[in-house]
């Protein structure tokens, strides 16, 4: 699997990352997605507020917060 992850991930032409998390396509972010992704990495997607963490080689959704979209976006 890519980067040694058990989760299937892919990148679009707009450089956005997606993954199959809990049998559902999930937007994983763009610049906030850790490269290379490693065990224990955690991030929050700016556009959606979804929080993810890599646990046992799998990307898991661990929460959601109110999106903090910068004023310049």
Q: Which two tokens stand for residue 15?
A: 């450089």
Mean pLDDT in residue range 1-19:
89
- The share of the chain scoring above pLDDT 90, in percent, equals 78
pLDDT band at 67 (very low <50, low <70, confident <90, very high): confident
For residue 1, pLDDT over 60 is answered with no
Domain boundaries, the chain: 2-64
Per-residue pLDDT tens digits for 21-45:
999 999 999 999 999 999 999 999 9
The residue among 3 and 38 whose pLDDT is bigger is 38
Whole-angstrom CA distances from 17 to 12, 46, 71, 72 are 7, 13, 23, 22
């Amino acid at each position: 699997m890519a980067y040694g992850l058990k989760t299937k991930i892919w990148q679009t032409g707009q450089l956005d990352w997606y993954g199959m998390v809990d049998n559902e396509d999930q937007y994983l972010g763009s610049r906030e997605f850790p490269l290379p992704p490693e065990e224990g990495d955690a991030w929050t997607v700016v556009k959606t507020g979804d929080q993810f963490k890599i646990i046992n080689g799998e990307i898991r959704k661990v929460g959601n917060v109110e999106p903090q979209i910068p004023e310049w976006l």
